[in-house]
Amino acid sequence: MSVITPTSTDLAYQQCINPSCRATFAVSQTCFACPKCGDLLDVVYDWDRLPVPSRLSEFESKWSDRLNPLNFSGVWRFRDLLPFAPPDAVVTVGEGQTLLQTADKVGQYVGLAPGGLKLQYEGMNPSGSFKDNGMTAAFTHARMVGARRVACASTGNTSAALAVYCSATDFGFKAIIFIGSGKIAYGKLAQALDHGALTIQIVGDFDDAMQRVRQVADRLNIYLMNSVNPFRLEGQKTIMFRVLEGLAWEPPDWIVVPGGNLGNSSAFGKAFIELKHLGLIDRVPRLAVINAAGASTLEHLVGHGLTWNSGLPDAELTESYYQKLDAEHLKASTIASAIEINRPVNLKKCLRALDFCNGVVRQVSDQEIMDAKARVGSGGLGCEPASAASVAGAKRLREEGIIAPSDRVVCILTGHQLKDPTATVAYHGTDQENFEKILGSRGVRRAGFANRPVVVPNDLDDIIRTIALYSDAPTADAAKM
């Protein structure tokens, strides 16, 4: 591979995160691992020579100019903080329209004081998950380097986002998606197919699909859209900018996020490193990354002492854990399919984020995830199973006393409720066989917060009696109607 080195006029470039390498590459380079040592790459900026607002509140001026697509986008209105692309190269479909809800009923479940829990809902993105934040940035880079065919391996949401950016833009992008067999939620598969992506289903799980897509991208010179792509993480930093925006620029005590491939947690860490460096915040929130118990590599490794260690984490520890997974044929398994990943590609960057944000890692069971999801649904905008891991994790940390009752906590709801209706209906429904098949098989024993549909004969009196029985309306009033 030919290497393109940055010139002295480049204000943004790529750099290997390995402190004993630190090789640099121009933004125009397309590679998703350091060509010198194989480690992850960062997008870095020469902040001293870049125009950066002196206060975060200056970004509010963008709100009055929303007819400009760059200002409408919840990613690109922060473009001064991810300045790797000329504005006319930006590929946007209006991503980043998120909102921060105060969710007191969910907060009570978690164990927080009123006003203490906010849910950052990312389901309002064009493809229904936070992935669009990263995709817009990676597609912008793909456009800058003239890529046409773009590919990813996916548990579902990355492929849905990739498919949207190909179908809804006019730059000749062709989507190629790799998914594991039987491992993708229907809502997400539906999106890939509906948006016309070439969908390649291989026998295997996400980790297998990831390995293949890397090989194929290499061999066929296809642009890789997985979160090893450092440009995606630049876009995902803006999730934190919008959290701060929703809190009038006052950092919360905690950010809680589900961890799969660890792109999001890595991006959040980078956002806070840069905001602190630029003097735009004076306090850094603590970060909690939540694994599913059936896919808990990060939790295991951090629990066994793995740390960032100034960029030189103990590779032996990670390698021997992966060898053990292989030897025992252990595959990731959780109802939270979006985080059903055993070999998180951004592990190192996540360790850096944990280091900078005084972070913690926990794992939660599928039971805790499904219960938390039901509470989010009944007290908020709803979410898919993986997203609810954040709420389940916050509850766990609250019970352990690590999060205090008075803390201000933001849980990231990463994906839309309708992404995985199968899990939701299995939990709430009355079909015991379906419950066993979808949830029981993963160790979920109870649906303690189920909202069961009520089966009633098709008879007006029966229906009226049933409504009276299940609601507060007096029977006499109901009968008069």
Ligand X SMILES: *Cc1c(COP(=O)(O)O)cnc(C)c1O
Give residues in contact with Zn ion (CB under 5 A). Answer: 16, 18, 21, 23, 34, 36-37, 39
Instruction: Let me know the angle formed at the C-alpha of 132 by 98 and 106, rounded to the nearest 5 degrees.
Output: 40
Least distance between ligand X and beta carbon 409 (Å):
18
Residue 21 contact among Zn ion, ligand X, none, beta carbon within 5 to 8 Å by kind? Zn ion
**If you ran DSSP here, which 8-state letter would residue 7 be given?**
P
* Residue with Cβ nearer ligand X (30 or 337): 337
* Residue with Cβ nearer ligand X (209 or 386): 386
Query: What is the SS3 assignment for 375?
Result: helix
Least distance between Zn ion and beta carbon 230 (Å):
13
Scanning 81-89, 108-116, 259-267, 353-361 for contacts with ligand X by CB under 6 A, the matching segment is 259-267
Scanning 141-149, 260-268, 273-281, 397-405 for contacts with ligand X by CB under 6 A, the matching segment is 260-268
Residue 199 contact among Zn ion, ligand X, none, beta carbon within 5 to 8 Å by kind? none
Neighbours of 333 (CB within 10 A): 18
Least distance between Zn ion and beta carbon 99 (Å):
39
* Residue 73 engages ligand X in binding (rule: CB under 6 A): no
* Residue 258 engages ligand X in binding (rule: CB under 6 A): yes
* Residue 384 engages ligand X in binding (rule: CB under 6 A): yes
Backbone torsions φ then ψ of 244, nearest 5 degrees: -60, -40
User: The tokens 């876009």 sit on which residue?
Assistant: 235
* Residue with Cβ nearer ligand X (90 or 257): 257
> Do residues 417 and 124 lie in contact, with contact meaning Cβ atoms separated by under 8 Å?
no
* Residue 415 engages ligand X in binding (rule: CB under 6 A): yes
> Do residues 383 and 376 lie in contact, with contact meaning Cβ atoms separated by under 8 Å?
yes
* Residue 255 engages ligand X in binding (rule: CB under 6 A): no
Query: What is the SS3 assignment for 413?
Result: strand
Q: Rounded distance, CA 390 to CA 134, Å? A: 20
Q: Rounded distance, CA 61 to CA 71, Å? A: 9
Q: Rounded distance, CA 282 to CA 284, Å? A: 7
Residues 311-350, one symbol each (x = binds ligand X by CB under 6 A, - = not), give: ---------------------------xx-----------
Residue 34 contact among Zn ion, ligand X, none, beta carbon within 5 to 8 Å by kind? Zn ion
* Residue with Cβ nearer ligand X (262 or 354): 262
Residue nearest to ligand X (CB): 415
Least distance between ligand X and beta carbon 338 (Å):
3
Candidate residues 98, 238, 387, 417; the one interacting with ligand X per rule CB under 6 A: 387
Least distance between ligand X and beta carbon 251 (Å):
21
Residue 129 contact among Zn ion, ligand X, none, beta carbon within 5 to 8 Å by kind? ligand X
By CB atoms closer than 10 A (0-12, 13-18, 19+), residue 220 is exposed
Q: H or E element: which one contains 135?
A: helix 131-144
User: The tokens 């205090």 sit on which residue?
Assistant: 404
* Residue with Cβ nearer ligand X (227 or 342): 227
Torsion angle of C-alpha atoms 160, 80, 35, 203, degrees rounded to 10:
-10
Least distance between ligand X and beta carbon 431 (Å):
25
* Residue 417 engages ligand X in binding (rule: CB under 6 A): no
* Residue 262 engages ligand X in binding (rule: CB under 6 A): yes
* Residue with Cβ nearer ligand X (271 or 386): 386
3-class SS string, 12-46: EEEEECCCCCCCEEECCCCCCCCCCCCCCEEEEEC
Q: Give the DSSP per-residue string, 203-260.
A: SS-HHHHHHHHHHHHHHHTPEE-STTSHHHHHHHHHHHHHHHHHTTT---SEEEEE-S
Residues 128-147, one symbol each (x = binds ligand X by CB under 6 A, - = not), give: -x-x----------------
Residues that bind ligand X (CB under 6 A): 129, 131, 157, 227, 258-264, 338-339, 384, 386-387, 414-415
